[in-house]
Amino acid sequence: MTATAPSPYQVDAHGYYGPFGGAYVPEMLYPNVEELRDNYLRITKDPEFQREFQQLLTDYVGRPTPLFLAQRLSAHYGTTIYLKREDLCHTGAHKINNTIGQILVAKRLGKQRIVAETGAGQHGVATATVCALMGLECIVYMGEIDIERQKPNVDRMRMLGAKVVPATSGSKTLKDATNEAMRHWISNPTDTHYIIGSVVGPHPYPDMVARFQSVISAETISQLLHQTGRATPDFMLACVGGGSNAAGAFYHYLDEPSVRLIAAEAAGQGIDTGHSAATTALGKPGILHGASTILMQTEDGQVTEPYSISAGLDYPGIGPQHAQLFATGRAEFLSITDKQALDAAFQLSRLEGIIPALETGHALACLPLIGAKKDDVVVVCLSGRGDKDLATYTKHLEEYAS
Amino acid sequence: MNRLTDLFQRKTADVLNVYFTAGFPQLHDTVPILKALQEAGADLVEIGMPYSDPVADGETIQRSNQQALENGMTVAKLFEQLQDIREQGITVPILLMGYLNPVVQFGVEKFCQQCQATGVDGVILPDLPLEVYERQYRPLFVQYGLKVVFLVTPQTSAARVRQLDALADGFIYLVAAAGTTGAQTDMNADVDAYLSRTKALGLQNPTLVGFGISDAASFAAASRHTTGAIIGSAFIRLLQQTPAERQPLAIKEFVHSIRA
């Protein structure tokens, strides 16, 4: 455990980020969470683990991902914009940085089976991928509604040998898939590891996942230094559902106050429409999926169902570290509507020849809002590619006829 | 004296605790079901406060939670329903069971106050960690005379069981086997060994077994090494299947069948 956390934004010795975090799990999960908590730092700091992890990130995931100077986008906004190309990772998004790390932890804990939750299916695919690679059994819970609307990813998971189980409880989406994965873990406490897909859940998950994703900002520092002569940008932009790509993009800049951290949340149809997933704008402190955080809920403390055009941002909470970044003002949270995200996704496609994921469209949509000046350097975490969203984009092609 | 403490002083074996969800099947069924359970001879009643995301519960109780929420049940409404039950002759000890978030949003101190005012004797909050209880909430629970129950599973280490036993003052809830509520537990040799192993620890609290207890045979097997057992999902299924007008009689028959 990090007994002497150097940063007020990092997890403390008790598993908290200020008032957020902790491990609010039923006693049935206590031994599993305790086992992970007591071992994750020892395991991940082991040189042999690091060697295997780094090698897989290089040879299998395709890291380092490029830091690309987007010249036409820069000219459009009158500033200097770099794109951190997580969309070029194997499986098409940053999610695999975490699943590679966690499966290596699971193996060292002697686990034989992996359980995971997925919303849009990106984390499910990244999990099914590493399970195939390591020869572990893989069970992915996915909301019944999401299974219908994300069929290509369901088929990818099945092709990779995973068992996709529909979550039929509650609202039948990501939050319920997470509940079902937790219930599966409760029922299989000794031989199963739960690979959570974001910086959410009980301690140590938010910290462990952020550490695996921190490769994003670690690479950005050296690439930016090489390309511009400075290690720190003026702005770092990333989208936040649970917040794993943002946690990785912010990680090494948390204690660099000169870097403005911008988190894009999904406003859906608008924060006042009742169809939104803008957690910090609409939520308040509470407990969700084992952590104290900020979440969208009724006055009576029932968790409400979020909405976003992007299934990856369709989550009623945020990771506890993000809750702390919001509460302390260290990061600025912007609410981006479906329309703004679509505009930004089409703009990037037309200006740079890169079709981004809808999630990433939310981060890109912050560009006109941050007031970046000519000499500023802006980095956008391009968290994923847009192939999975083609059906949605196709519906809007007419609106963006060039 | 707290009714729960009093019960365990009077009765040290075959204690039957029945769980049901508040506001289910109908919003105003809470108090009638409570009365019927008392008349049928339940020793102790556990009322579930419905929650949107009950991770420790299996399908049957999940569905009853969802139905109760759709019926309009809230923590505030539950306290309204329970307001004068003690004046209406309900003497059975009552526990509230639920998840932490609705309690935190209601206000933990206000919740404890309301429990005391309505005559609730104890609480089970499965996702309230022992450490947080000790650090943040224990003085409040003590101040309002509310007993607390902690869960123990076959995977819980002996050292952890002792920690939980040291802070619990209601009873220890022994989860029969790894799983969520309603799981099909056959009372096999493994469960028997776990229960007798726990008995050998000589805990200060009474112990009640839950998860998978559904009939006279499983109740008797579970009670062999413990103070008694808890029935939840099987009772919820009964409520689901019973037409409203038959409810009091069906509850009586159900409790008697467990005692048979």
pLDDT score of A233 more than 70: yes
Q: Does A24 touch chain B (CB under 8 A)?
A: yes
Nearest-CA distance from A237 to chain B in Å? 31
How far CA A153 is from CA of A90, A244, B77, B118, in Å, comes to 14, 20, 43, 52
Stretch A19-37: mean pLDDT, rounded? 96
Compute the mean pLDDT over every residue in chain A, rounded to the nearest whole number.
Answer: 96
pTM: predicted TM-score of the whole model, two decimal places = 0.96
CB < 8 Å to A188, chain B: 178
| Percent residues over pLDDT 90 in chain A | 92
ipTM of predicted complex: 0.95
- pLDDT band at residue B230 under the 50/70/90 scheme: very high
pLDDT for position B179: 85
Nearest Cα residue to B91 out of B12, B205, B7: B7
Q: Which amino acid is at A192?
A: T
- pLDDT band at residue B163 under the 50/70/90 scheme: very high
pLDDT for position B180: 87
pLDDT score of A1 more than 60: no
Nearest-CA distance from B145 to chain A in Å? 23
pLDDT score of B156 more than 90: yes
- pLDDT digit string, tens, across residues A248-268: 999 999 999 999 999 999 999
pLDDT for position A145: 87
pLDDT for position A170: 79
**Contact map slice: A 264-293 vs B, CB within 8 A:** 286-290
pLDDT for position A5: 52
Q: Does B108 touch chain A (CB under 8 A)?
A: no
Burial of B22 (0-12, 13-18, 19+ CB in 10 A): buried
Stretch A343-352: mean pLDDT, rounded? 98
- pLDDT digit string, tens, across residues A116-128: 999 989 999 999 9
User: Tokens at residue A294, please?
Assistant: 């900020």
Name A84's bridge partners.
Answer: A67, A381
Compute the mean pLDDT over every residue in chain B, rounded to the nearest whole number.
Answer: 95
Please state the φ and ψ torsions of residue A376, each to the nearest 5 degrees. -75, 150
- pLDDT digit string, tens, across residues B76-124: 999 999 999 999 999 999 999 999 999 999 999 999 999 999 999 999 9
- pLDDT digit string, tens, across residues A305-335: 999 999 889 899 999 999 999 999 999 999 9
pLDDT for position A172: 86
Stretch A288-307: mean pLDDT, rounded? 96
Nearest-CA distance from A299 to chain B in Å? 7
Determine, for residues B62 and A186 on separate chains, whether the beta-carbon distance falls below 8 Å: no
Write the DSSP assignment of A192-227 as a string of letters: EEEE-SSS-SSTTHHHHHHHHHTHHHHHHHHHHHHH
pLDDT for position A2: 45
Nearest-CA distance from A294 to chain B in Å? 11
What is the CB-side half-sphere exposure of residue B88 using CA atoms within 13 A?
15
Assign domain B3-259 to a CATH class. alpha beta
Q: Is B109 a catalytic residue?
A: no
CB < 8 Å to B156, chain A: 27, 30-31
Choose among A24, A25, A170: nearest Cβ to B66: A170
Q: Please, what are the domains in chain A? A: 17-57+96-209 (3.40.50.1100), 62-92+213-400 (3.40.50.1100)
Determine, for residues B156 and A27 on separate chains, whether the beta-carbon distance falls below 8 Å: yes
Residues of A involved in catalysis: 95, 117, 383
The CA distance from B98 to B109, in Å, is 16
Determine, for residues B151 and A27 on separate chains, whether the beta-carbon distance falls below 8 Å: yes
Interface test with B, best of A176, A300, A315 (most B CBs within 10 A): A300
Determine, for residues B102 and A25 on separate chains, whether the beta-carbon distance falls below 8 Å: no
CB < 8 Å to A25, chain B: 127, 129
Interface test with B, best of A30, A184, A293 (most B CBs within 10 A): A30
Q: Does B212 touch chain A (CB under 8 A)?
A: no
CB < 8 Å to B53, chain A: 170, 175-176, 179, 288-289, 303
Q: Does A400 touch chain B (CB under 8 A)?
A: no
In chain B, domain spans: 3-259
- pLDDT digit string, tens, across residues A190-218: 999 999 999 999 999 999 999 999 999 99
CB atoms inside a 10 Å sphere around CB A304: 17
